């Protein structure tokens, strides 16, 4: 374990050495480390999932860092595997292009985001931007797929040195994006300085990440896994960027990932006016108590209540011989499976994403199949791990309900759905 995990001792944003333990989940295997069936005997380590709150700036973060090469070189997430995200990134590109109002042929690049199938870059290209096609991502398979689809993707970690090579060969971009990856980076200061150096003087850095306030408010606790090192909020980020000679001048709430925020950052020399959205968000965070341990204690109690409700319902079912399947084989499934201790209750998992089919789940090695297997095995219940997509999942599988099947929805409130109450969801 010592070779793949490093213990951080200071805050990623302000370098403060005083960090308080705010939330603990049970240790888990790497969230997206699904195995081939031939790897059944492979041992998978579990790593701690402890969230800390910086006493100085209020930033929430993981301190146990699993090295990037361990997580990302064989990463399998693609934007198209998440319901609605491909459409989201097309709209994102159009909205940002319109808001920034740069002229045609403006250069933009995307830094290694979960948009690793090129959806965002294609959207900017369609909006008239000159897309360099450097969706820089160390995931080798994902990079190859994006390149073959027409968006050149270099399988490298973004660094200042790489940024200088890009600037020398192509000029300095006016738009740099990094979506659902900025929270995955341990050295935030280093990559932010590299972005500042690469970006044109009148350029804008735009990034999107799940939002700490909504993460708690909407009980999306299963987004806490080892890739997600940072749990961003506006107030500590404002101070962070200011220290690095940059200005967080606008924020846009968006609905993805159970509640996200889109951040707009320029150099201090930039001419864009700071928007009221920034101070409004900071006010909301203070009023919510986002930077207090009490808020996280309450959150932990809510999680444990939901866990107890799930196990109290499911354990007797399994003991009586009922079969429970799972729906959704994503990174969040791993957190939910491990923390709720569901490994003895789930017979198999189904997922629409073909790459996940015929694999074994991280840590517990529960088989993952196509949803067609639901109608072959006829489980008594289906536990919806992908609970944020409960409506499209159930709508697509009304046949299962009509045959007498039932869905278990664990979050944000525990409930069981059958054909008698389907219309109430």
Q: Which of 264, 291, 318 is the last residue of a domain?
A: 291
Same structural domain for residues 147 and 285?
yes
Same structural domain for residues 310 and 213?
no
> Is residue 375 situated within a structural domain?
yes
Q: Return the pLDDT at 2.
A: 46
Q: Is the pLDDT of residue 223 over 50?
A: yes
Q: Which residues pair with 254 in a beta bridge?
A: 260
Q: Return the pLDDT at 75.
A: 47
Residue 135 banded pLDDT, cuts 50, 70, 90: very low
Q: 120: exposed, middle or buried (C-beta count within 10 Å: 0-12, 13-18, 19+)?
A: buried
CA dist., res. 3 & res. 65, Å (int): 11
The owner of tokens 């319902």 is: 313
The least confident of 121-130, 335-344, 359-368, 380-389 is 121-130
Same structural domain for residues 262 and 298?
no
SS3 call for 218: coil
pLDDT in tens, 6-46: 999 999 999 999 999 999 999 999 999 999 999 999 999 99
Same structural domain for residues 321 and 416?
yes
Q: Which of 291, 313, 345 is the last residue of a domain?
A: 291
Q: Return the pLDDT at 1.
A: 45
Q: What is the mean pLDDT of residues 314-323?
A: 98
Q: Return the pLDDT at 41.
A: 94
Same structural domain for residues 298 and 207?
no
> Is residue 51 situated within a structural domain?
no
Same structural domain for residues 276 and 396?
no
> Is residue 2 situated within a structural domain?
no
Q: Which of 291, 312, 337 is the last residue of a domain?
A: 291
> Is residue 393 situated within a structural domain?
yes
- CA torsion 333-112-181-367 (nearest 10°) is 10
3-class SS letters over 327-362: ECCCHHHHHHHHHCCCCCCCCCEECCCHHHCCEECC
pLDDT in tens, 273-283: 999 999 999 99
Return the higher-pLDDT residue of 192 and 75. 192
Q: Return the pLDDT at 144.
A: 61
The sign of the CA dihedral 38, 82, 121, 158 is negative
Same structural domain for residues 250 and 324?
no
- CA torsion 389-76-361-379 (nearest 10°) is 40
Return the DSSP state at 226. T
Q: What is the mean pLDDT of residues 73-86?
A: 52
pLDDT in tens, 197-218: 999 999 999 999 999 999 999 9
CATH label of the domain that carries residue 348: 3.40.50.720
Number of domains in the chain: 2
pLDDT in tens, 147-166: 666 655 666 677 888 889 88
CATH label of the domain that carries residue 273: 3.40.50.150
CA dist., res. 76 & res. 80, Å (int): 11
Mean pLDDT of the chain: 90
Return the higher-pLDDT residue of 79 and 348. 348
Q: Return the pLDDT at 382.
A: 98
Q: Return the pLDDT at 123.
A: 86
CA dist., res. 165 & res. 156, Å (int): 13
Same structural domain for residues 176 and 119?
yes
Length of the chain: 425
Nearest to 77 by CA among 369, 332, 254, 402: 332
> Is residue 315 situated within a structural domain?
yes
Same structural domain for residues 128 and 273?
yes
The domain of 162 spans: 79-291
Nearest to 290 by CA among 278, 282, 302, 300: 282
**Count of CB atoms situated within 10 Å of the CB of 151:** 24
> Is residue 17 situated within a structural domain?
no
CA dist., res. 16 & res. 291, Å (int): 15
Nearest to 58 by CA among 14, 9, 10, 118: 14
> Is residue 16 situated within a structural domain?
no
Nearest to 180 by CA among 237, 248, 263, 98: 263
Q: What is the mean pLDDT of residues 223-229?
A: 96
Return the higher-pLDDT residue of 199 and 127. 199
Residue 82 banded pLDDT, cuts 50, 70, 90: low
Q: Return the pLDDT at 73.
A: 45
Same structural domain for residues 192 and 259?
yes
Tell me if the bond preceding 41 is cis, omega within 30° of 0: no
Same structural domain for residues 285 and 385?
no
The least confident of 124-128, 349-353, 359-363, 399-403 is 124-128
Same structural domain for residues 186 and 330?
no
> Is residue 205 situated within a structural domain?
yes
Q: Return the pLDDT at 261.
A: 98
């Amino acid at each position: 374990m010592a070779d793949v995990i490093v213990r951080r001792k200071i805050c990623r944003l302000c370098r403060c050495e005083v960090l308080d333990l705010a939330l603990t989940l049970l240790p888990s295997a790497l969230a997206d480390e699904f195995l081939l069936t031939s790897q059944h005997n492979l041992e998978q380590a579990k790593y701690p999932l402890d969230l800390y709150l910086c006493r100085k700036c209020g930033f929430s973060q993981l301190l146990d860092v699993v090295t990037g090469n361990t997580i990302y070189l064989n990463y399998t997430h693609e934007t198209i595997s998440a319901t609605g995200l491909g459409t989201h990134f097309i709209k994102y590109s159009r909205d940002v292009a319109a808001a920034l109002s740069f002229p045609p042929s403006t250069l933009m690049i995307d830094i290694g985001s979960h948009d690793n199938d090129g959806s965002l870059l294609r959207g900017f290209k369609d909006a008239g931007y000159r897309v360099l096609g450097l969706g820089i991502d160390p995931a080798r398979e994902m990079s190859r797929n994006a390149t073959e689809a027409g968006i050149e993707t270099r399988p490298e970690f973004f660094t200042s040195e790489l940024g200088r090579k890009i600037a020398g060969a192509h000029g300095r971009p006016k738009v740099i994006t990094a979506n659902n990856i900025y929270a995955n980076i341990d050295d935030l200061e280093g990559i932010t300085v590299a972005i500042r150096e690469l970006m044109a003087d009148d350029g804008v850095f735009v990034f999107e990440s799940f939002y700490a306030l909504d993460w708690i408010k909407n009980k999306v606790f299963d987004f806490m896994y080892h890739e997600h090192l940072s749990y961003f909020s506006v107030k500590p980020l404002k101070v962070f960027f200011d220290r690095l000679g940059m200005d967080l001048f606008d924020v846009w709430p968006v609905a993805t990932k159970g509640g996200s925020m889109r951040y707009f950052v320029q150099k201090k020399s930039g001419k864009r006016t700071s928007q009221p959205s920034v101070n409004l968000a900071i006010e909301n965070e203070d009023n919510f108590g986002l930077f207090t341990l009490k808020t996280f204690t309450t959150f932990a109690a809510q999680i444990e209540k939901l866990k107890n409700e799930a196990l109290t319902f499911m354990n007797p079912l399994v003991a009586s011989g009922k079969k429970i399947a799972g729906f959704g084989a994503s990174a969040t499934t791993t957190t939910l499976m491990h923390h709720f201790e569901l490994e003895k209750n789930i017979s198999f998992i189904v997922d629409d994403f073909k790459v996940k089919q015929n694999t074994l789940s991280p840590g517990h090695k529960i088989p993952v199949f196509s949803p067609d297997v639901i109608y072959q095995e006829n489980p008594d219940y289906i536990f919806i791990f992908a609970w944020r997509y409960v409506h499209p999942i159930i709508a697509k599988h009304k046949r299962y309900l009509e045959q007498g099947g039932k869905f278990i929805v664990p979050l944000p409130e525990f409930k069981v759905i059958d054909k008698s109450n389907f219309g109430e969801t």
